[in-house]
Chain A
Amino acid sequence: KAGVTQTPRYLIKTRGQQVTLSCSPISGHRSVSWYQQTPGQGLQFLFEYFSETQRNKGNFPGRFSGRQFSNSRSEMNVSTLELGDSALYLCASSLTGAGETQYFGPGTRLLVL
Chain B
Amino acid sequence: QQQVKQSPQSLIVQKGGIPIINCAYENTAFDYFPWYQQFPGKGPALLIAIRPDVSEKKEGRFTISFNKSAKQFSLHIMDSQPGDSATYFCAASNSGAGSYQLTFGKGTKLSVIP
Q: A residues bordering B, Cβ < 8 Å? A: 4, 31, 33, 35, 42-45, 48, 50, 55-56, 58, 90, 92, 97-107
Chain A at the B interface: SS class: strand
Interface string of B82-101 (1 = CB under 8 A from A): 00000001010111101111
Asked if A98 contacts B94 (CB within 8 A), the reply is: yes
Given A50-B100, A56-B98, A97-B100, CB of A43 within 8 Å of CB of B89 = yes
Contact call A104/B45, Cβ cutoff below 8 A: yes
B101 pairs with A45, CB closer than 8 A: yes
Please tell me if the beta carbons of B44 and A98 are within 8 angstroms of each other in the complex: no
Contacting residue for A104 out of B43, B49, B98, B105, CB 8 A = B43
A42 touches B101 (CB 8 A): no
Task: Determine how close the nearest CB of chain A comes to the CB of B62; give it in whole angstroms.
Answer: 15
Q: How far is the CB of B39 from chain A (nearest CB, A)?
A: 10
Chain A: minimal CB distance from B99 (Å):
6
* Chain A residues in 8 Å Cβ range of B43: 4, 90, 92, 104-107
How extensive is the interface on chain B, given as a class? 20 to 34
Return A72 CB to nearest CB of chain B, in Å. 15
Within the complex, the shortest CB–CB distance from B12 to chain A, in Å, comes to 19
State which residues 69-114 of B face A: CB under 8 Å: 89, 91, 93-96, 98-107
Does B46 have its Cβ within 8 Å of any Cβ on chain A?
yes
Residue of B nearest to A107 (CB): B43
Are A55 and B106 also in contact (CB < 8 A) when A101-B46, A103-B46 are?
Answer: no
Is there contact, CB below 8 Å, between A98 and B100? yes
* Cα–Cα distance between A23 and B49 once the two chains are bound (Å): 24
Top 10 A-B pairs, shortest CB-CB distance: A99-B95, A104-B43, A43-B104, A98-B93, A45-B101, A97-B100, A48-B100, A42-B106, A56-B100, A98-B100
In the bound complex, residues from chain B placing their C-beta under 8 Å from that of A101 are 34, 46, 49
